């Protein structure tokens, strides 16, 4: 049984800040939190190692690229095992930016 990592109020404050801006310098986070840059860095590293923080990246605004509509389409397959053949075909459609596969009674 995996033990759930524990976080304190400072961790929560750091998470709140970096969730809104993953590129914010540690020194700026430290200033807001009233701790040293090293403390922020160590806590972020620990939260990465504990799996609390799972990555960072950029969010793209699809409207700036000409995508003004978001549509979800369900495709029911006769056999779930053929998804590995179907998904690559769907991904060939230029307008498709994401393709997800789900299973279960709510698909």
- Give residue-wise pLDDT tens across range 38-96: 999 999 999 999 999 998 877 888 889 888 888 888 888 888 889 889 989 999 998 88
| Structural domains of the chain ordered from first start | 1-59 (1.10.10.10), 60-107 (no CATH)
pLDDT of residue 54: 92
Neighbours of 15 (CB within 10 A): 16
Rounded to whole angstroms, how far apart are CA atoms 87 and 14? 38
Q: How far apart are the first and last CA of the chain?
A: 30
Q: What is the pTM of this model?
A: 0.59
If we measure between CA atoms, which residue out of 54, 35, 57, 44 comes closest to residue 7?
A: 44
Q: How far apart are CA 39 and CA 26, in angstroms?
A: 9
Cα dihedral: 57, 43, 35, 31 (round 10): 0
């Amino acid at each position: 049984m995996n033990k759930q990592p524990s976080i304190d109020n400072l961790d929560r404050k750091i998470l709140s800040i970096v969730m809104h801006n993953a590129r914010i310098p540690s020194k700026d986070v430290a200033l807001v939190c009233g701790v040293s840059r090293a403390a922020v860095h160590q806590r972020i590293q620990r939260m990465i190692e504990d799996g609390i923080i799972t990555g960072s990246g950029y969010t793209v605004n699809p409207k700036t690229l000409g995508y003004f509509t978001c549509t979800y389409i369900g495709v029911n397959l006769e056999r779930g095992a053929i998804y590995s053949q179907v998904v690559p075909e769907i991904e060939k459609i230029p307008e498709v930016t994401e393709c997800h596969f789900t299973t279960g009674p709510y698909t």
